[in-house]
Structure 1
Amino acid sequence: MSSQAQNDLAKHFRSLHVPGNPLVLTNVWDAITASSIAALPQTKALATASFAIAAAADLADDDLTLEENLRAVGVIAKIAAKHNLPLTVDFQDGFGDELEEGVRQVIKLGAVGINLEDYGRKVGGLYSIGQQCDRIKKVIAVAEEQGVPDFVVNARTDALFAGRDVDEAIERGKAYLATGAYNVFIWGGPTRHGWKKEEVEKASRALGGRLNVILVRGKTGGLSVKEIGELGVARISIGPALMRWSIEQIGQEAGRILEGKGVGEV
């Protein structure tokens, strides 16, 4: 793919982020899931889930290496290209000092966006707002160097996961947008069990709708996809939810077969 064609795809990906009519991403992690989801007429873009990619390699999410991530992305990118779909990559915290080279490789594989977290594994906590803004600038500089100036940075803040409040998450989100990120992903973390409607609405309003909300197993604070959209967000993703569900289904079906029953037989 030429850099011009890739940047055109990045522009298209940007255009899919419409506050109030959000882009919905059902995250993938391998060739099978990417092919299955890419073939759906409702699919507008592909997005990877690092947790699921790590699990497929028998790794914890925090132990996923850049090499393992790129290996999975390379396979998924070919499928995205086959279907002419934008691909955005869960790039975790940027893999420390490998951030710029990693982004360069992701772009060469065909991706037009990444998620970039502000919780650093090596630092064991949140980057300062200034540090994270510098990291976002580095990503944008690499993208421009590679001929994809419209590369989409979905800047994820783990402020809530780190025990901070929604106001700090919003403050961080505003700074990241001002630096050049295109969208903000505020993650509640596993202990909060999602957002409250009032929190999502407040953040969405403060960020001009340029907000990514994760939908966990069909609900976020009890909200449906339609209800989340009505709060004005521009993007909804599901992370590793499909992987977890598929594991349950495979285990159940295998158990039935091993018990001598037919597939799907109760």
Structure 2
Amino acid sequence: MAVSISEVATKAKTFKSLHVPGTPLVLANVYDATSARIVASLPECKALATASFALAKSIDKTDQTLTLDENISLSKPVAAVAHEFGLPLTVDIQDGYAKSGDFQTLHEVVKRLIVEVGAAGVNLEDSWHESTSGDMIDEEESIERIKAVLKAANDLGVPDFVVNARSDSFLMGGTLEESIRRGKKYLDAGATTVFIIWARAEPIVEKDAQRAIDELGGRVNLSRRLGKPGPTTVELAKMGVARISVGPQLYFAAAQALRDTAADVFGTSK
């Protein structure tokens, strides 16, 4: 699939414009061509997004061991569907696949995403993806990494490249205040939105979510927890978020449906 830089630039501009506090961009994260085509066919779909965790699971790997080459290879079928439907695509690149201080590698990663995949944006984390204990990236380096990604995209001719900057302090056992404080700096560095994730076992408390939304001017990405307590898509929109996503939840839903159907084939209980 050949995508021109000018086409990527146009899609990035469109993609960025979809991030409106109170009228959020809703992303049902996909992980292969089939899931991408199903989601893209829905009239409400305005863009496609990958989830690295789901990409990794699709080849029986963990999120921590998914390599850049594997991420790009698995994203290409999704990109082909996005191109066919004329939709922007954002790719989950975890921590950017660059070691501490290696901004040259980060530049090359962005170049590959734009040239090979046609990505209009990325999800960039501020915790090290290979860590199993949730090690955070130094705050100042996280800021410089956002700037490096945006500079690399701008140098290629994609000035509206979208960075959804994950602020993982709260997820990793720290405070929400820390994630908000980091998030403000990420927005100042040029990120379009800040992605704050609640700890997996913790419910999303609306007053805390509202505080994050208010303090970050609505430029927030929050996750919708499907089938669990927490704000709905409509409620999150009313709260003023600019972006809503679901991470690997579509993958888990599809896997459960497959298991249930297979159990029915074997005549066993679900």
> 1:138 aligned to 2:140?
no
| Cα shift at 1:25 | 0.4
Change (3 A) 1:208 1:102: same
Secondary structure of the residue aligned to 2:244 is strand
CA–CA distance in 2 between the matches of 1:170 and 1:26?
Answer: 24
Question: How far apart, CA to CA, are the structure 2 residues paired with 1:217 and 1:7?
Answer: 33
Question: Does residue 189 in structure 1 map to residue 181 in structure 2?
Answer: no
Counting only pairs closer than 5 Å after superposition, residues 197-212 of structure 1 correspond to structure 2 as 197-212=206-221
Deviation sequence 1:125-177 (CA, Å, 0-9, x none)? 11122110111111011101111010000000111122211111111110000
Which of residues 251, 256, 266 in structure 2 aligns to 1:258? 266
Following TM superposition, the consecutive aligned residue runs of length 4 or more in structure 1 with deviations greater than 3 angstroms are 121-124
Per the normalisation by structure 2, the TM-score is 0.92
Inter-partner Cα distance in structure 2 for 1:121 and 1:113: 19
Tell me the alpha carbon deviations over residues 73-107 of structure 1, each in whole angstroms, 9 at most, x when there is no partner.
11111110110000000111111244322211111
For 2:224 and 2:130, the matched residues in 1 are separated by 28
Structure 1 position 38 matched with structure 2 position 47: no
- The share of aligned pairs that are identical, in percent, is 43
Deviations 1:179-216 (A, max 9, x none): 11111101113232x42101111111111100000112
Partner of 1:150: 160
Query: Structure 1 regions of 5+ residues with no counterpart?
Result: none
Give the Cα–Cα distance (whole angstroms) in 1 for the partners of residues 139 and 149 of structure 2: 16
State the distance in 1 between where 2:238 and 2:140 align. Answer: 32
Aligned to 2:58: 56
* Residue 241 (1) aligns with residue 249 (2): yes
Count of paired positions:
260
1:110: which partner in 2?
118
Contact 2:64/2:130 (<8 A) preserved: no
| Partner in structure 2 of residue 172 of structure 1 | 182
> How big is the alpha-carbon RMSD for the aligned residues of Structure 1 and Structure 2?
1.7
Question: Could you tell me how far 1:4 is from its partner in structure 2?
Answer: 2.2
Question: Which structure 2 segments of 5+ residues have no match?
Answer: 100-104
2:196–2:220 Cα contact (<8 Å) kept: yes
- Determine whether 1:162 maps to 2:172: yes
